[in-house]
Amino acid sequence: MSLDIRVPIGLLFLCLGGLLTGFGIVTHFTNPGIYTMSLNVNINLWWGLVMIAFGAAMFYYGRRGVALAGTKPEAKDALAAGDLD
Amino acid sequence: MHTTLAWIDYLIMVIYFAFVLGIGFALKRFMKTSTDFFLSGRSIPAWVAGLAFISANLGAQEVIGMAASGAKYGISTAHFYWLGAIPAMVFVGLFMMPFYYGSRARSVPEYLRLRFDEKTRGLNAISFAVMTVMSSGISMYAMAKLIETLHIFDPLMQALGLPMSYVFHLSIIVSALITLGYVYLGGLTSAIYNEVLQFFLIVAGFFPLVALGLWNVGGWEGLVAKCPPGFGHAWKGMTNPDNNPLGVEWFALAMGLGFVLSFGYWCTDFLVVQRAMAADSMSSARRTPLIAAVPKMIFPFLVILPGLIAVALPTPTAADLPAGAPESVVKAESMGKGIIPAKVDSAGVVQVDTNGKPVLDYDLAIPNMLLHYFPTGMLGLGLTALLASFMSGMAGNITAFNTVWTFDIYQAYIKPQASDKHYLWMGHFATLFGTVISIAAAYVATKFNNIMELLQLVFAFVNAPLFATFALGMFWKRATADGAFYGLVSGIGAAALHHGLTLPGGSEPGIKGGWIHVLHPYRNEMAQNFWTAIWAFSVCLVVTIAVSLVTKPRPDKELQGLVYSLTKHDVDEHLPWYKSPGFFGIVVVLLSISLNLIFR
């Protein structure tokens, strides 16, 4: 299959992370009261940023993986093991 | 409960569902043969298969159920992972995968036919097919119930002008259509890819929840101090069933859960084994369960801890609830423990057990934690993660069902010599009617209030004796077809007999046991389940050996590649030692032992 699963995962996390970060920034000024329940942490903003970073890494490695498609199974095994983190 | 979801929460859900279906559409063009559809063309890299391996099992029963057990029994629930799943996963990777993958069987029942004969395969295929549609239906039911409780679809119902009582039906239909959509389009690959996506989403949704919760209660020390006694230990008091929250002694725990139930499930259940069979090479297939074991070890912190935190938090009193909350809610919350409310029937009356104590609705541990800590935005992500876990559970069952139906029932008994194109068509069709039967099962579930326990029981009946059959089949070449079949039948019979003669404390004879005569009472359902499994396994083992010894064995040359002593073992010699599955397996087992020691 020439669809690397890391590409859609990366895109989904970029989308959701971007959405949460944007919402976190806006609510920081307009409605900071909603964060009393999350112990006064702007969880939308911070977790959104973490999700963007994860999504970007997945997307990058996924695109690199597509470029390497067609290599021998052993070589792919080694790469996949190396990319586990 | 009283929530209001905002536009952003719905938007997150919609984006997620768009991706899920998008993956199905993107994979549709690759589904040309039955191997592509049912086995992903055996082309899945090890890490993808590994994450799918645990995610397919991460359905409603797992996420909701483990948090519920955490709230009920404390950290000893982690035995399901550290004592049960991990050693079993290492065993299936190192010792069983060479036969599953190497024999080129397309399913677990098919391996049984190769090793034994047609009747053993038939018995396994039919019981497995029934089990999968049942549990997919129960996932669907649990999801619809949750959507109803949390009022997720209420604004949609208002917009469509439909009465609120239709929420349940709409949830069932929408979730069935989405699962059907992506499995129908992209087969097993689509299910596996989505399981990996769901895995990351579940981690993303639950990690911040646990972090906030732990910080709130004062870390691990603070949590243990606020929980009921014994909740912070996994092994303390295990010498006697009366001294620990699980109500079992170490032998029943290690033998029943650690050995029989866990090995039975992880080594023989086609739902998970199918993910490893789809791997792109033998070494990937063997590494699939080993890679899966690493996140699995950490999962107790994501799914069990929310249950403990939910118990540790102060119980809301009537004064904490918003003005105008219905009286039943106020009564239920203030009679609960932590933020887990008491169960209320439809008339608003708090339910009590035979000792007069309120029955707690432990299944609400995770949903209540999400509502307690997550503001708008993150709440949408948390709920989406929860829905994703239900989807994983459903799709995993549907893909296992369509494969077993097509290869082990349809091809074996109904139409043996058809073209590959025909079986591919049948796979699509089986996906459709498997989903329809699941919907029916979801409605059957609404009639019973303890269908989850019934299903657990069926697992103990079917999987526990099956592990004895497999262990003997793979490691004892003298085991014969008749031995396997009669062993399996008597193992299932022994489970039924044990269940009919024992009863867990505080329950009436009937579905929970004791329907023949109560010979022995157990402390709780967990203890009874472990012993049912031990009996089923032991009887199957003894009968299989006895019958095998009096029946004619198969010649060695027919068993090559199917039995340990007649199979080459140097499959991984080309790998350096630090990359070999054996080394990886030892590391995983050592890590699991250290977790047991840390939380003893």
The minimal CB distance from A23 to the residues B8, B193, B201 is found for B8
Structure tokens at B398: 């549907």
Amino acid at B301: F
pLDDT tier for residue A75 given thresholds of 50, 70 and 90: very low
Structure tokens at B57: 């099992």
Structure tokens at B366: 């995770």
Q: What's the pLDDT at B419?
A: 86
Contact A38 B378 (CB under 8 A): yes
Q: What's the pLDDT at B319?
A: 63
Cβ pair B395, B155 in contact under 8 A: no
Q: Which residues of chain B have pLDDT under 70?
A: 1-3, 60, 232, 234-235, 237-247, 317-334, 346-348, 353-356, 448-456, 506, 511, 568-574, 578
Beta bridge mates, B513: B510
Which is nearest to A77 in space by CA: B286, B200, B567?
Answer: B286
Contact A37 B373 (CB under 8 A): yes
Cβ pair B564, B474 in contact under 8 A: yes
Q: Is B117 helix (H, G, I), strand (E, B) or coil?
A: coil
pLDDT by residue (tens digit) across B206-245?
999 999 988 988 878 877 877 777 776 766 766 666 666 6
B128 vs chain A: nearest CA distance in angstroms? 29
Cβ pair B261, B530 in contact under 8 A: yes
Identify all chain B residues contacting A33, using CB atoms and an 8 Å cutoff. none
Identify all chain B residues contacting A81, using CB atoms and an 8 Å cutoff. 46-47, 287, 579
For residues B389-400, one letter each, b for 16 or more C-beta atoms within 10 angstroms of the residue's C-beta and e for the rest, the string is: bbbbbbbbbbbb
Say whether residue A7 is in contact with chain B using an 8 A CB cutoff: no
Structure tokens at B147: 């959507």
Q: What's the pLDDT at A9?
A: 92
Concatenate the DSSP letters of all residues of B20-40 into one string.
HHHHHHHHHTT--SHHHHHHG
The minimal CB distance from B377 to the residues A23, A41, A73 is found for A23
B196 vs chain A: nearest CA distance in angstroms? 8
The predicted complex's ipTM stands at 0.85
Count of positions (residues) in chain A = 85
Question: Which distant-in-sequence residues (6+ apart) come within 8 Å of B324 by Cβ?
Answer: none
When scoring B215, B280, B381 by the number of chain A Cβ atoms within 10 A, the one with the most, hence best to mutate, is B381
Q: Is B176 helix (H, G, I), strand (E, B) or coil?
A: helix
Look at residue A76 and tell me whether its pLDDT is greater than 60.
no
Say how many CA atoms lie within 13 Å of B426 toward its Cβ.
22
Neighbours of A32 (CB within 10 A): 11
Amino acid at A62: G
Question: Which stretches within B360-480 are classed as H helix?
Answer: 365-373, 378-403, 420-447, 451-475
Give the separation between CA A57 and CA A38, rounded to whole angstroms.
27
Look at residue A55 and tell me whether its pLDDT is greater than 90.
yes
Look at residue A21 and tell me whether its pLDDT is greater than 90.
yes
Structure tokens at B201: 């989403």
Say whether residue B596 is in contact with chain A using an 8 A CB cutoff: no
Give the separation between CA B492 and CA B536, rounded to whole angstroms.
6
Which is nearest to B445 in space by CA: B163, B136, B167, B175?
Answer: B136
Q: What's the pLDDT at A80?
A: 46
Identify all chain B residues contacting A35, using CB atoms and an 8 Å cutoff. 375
The three-point CA angle B90-B93-B98 to 5° equals 150
Look at residue A12 and tell me whether its pLDDT is greater than 90.
yes
Q: What is the dihedral of CA B340, B342, B348, B354, to 10 degrees?
A: 170
Tell me the pTM: 0.87
Say whether residue A71 is in contact with chain B using an 8 A CB cutoff: no
Say whether residue A85 is in contact with chain B using an 8 A CB cutoff: no
Q: What's the pLDDT at B572?
A: 62
Identify all chain B residues contacting A13, using CB atoms and an 8 Å cutoff. 200, 204
Say whether residue A26 is in contact with chain B using an 8 A CB cutoff: no
Say whether residue A15 is in contact with chain B using an 8 A CB cutoff: yes
The minimal CB distance from A43 to the residues B16, B281, B378 is found for B378
Say whether residue B372 is in contact with chain A using an 8 A CB cutoff: yes
Give the separation between CA B203 and CA B213, rounded to whole angstroms.
15
Which is nearest to B83 in space by CA: B244, B296, B371, B281?
Answer: B296
pLDDT tier for residue A82 given thresholds of 50, 70 and 90: very low
The residue ranges of DSSP E strands in B294-378, in sequence order, are none
Give the separation between CA B274 and CA B214, rounded to whole angstroms.
37
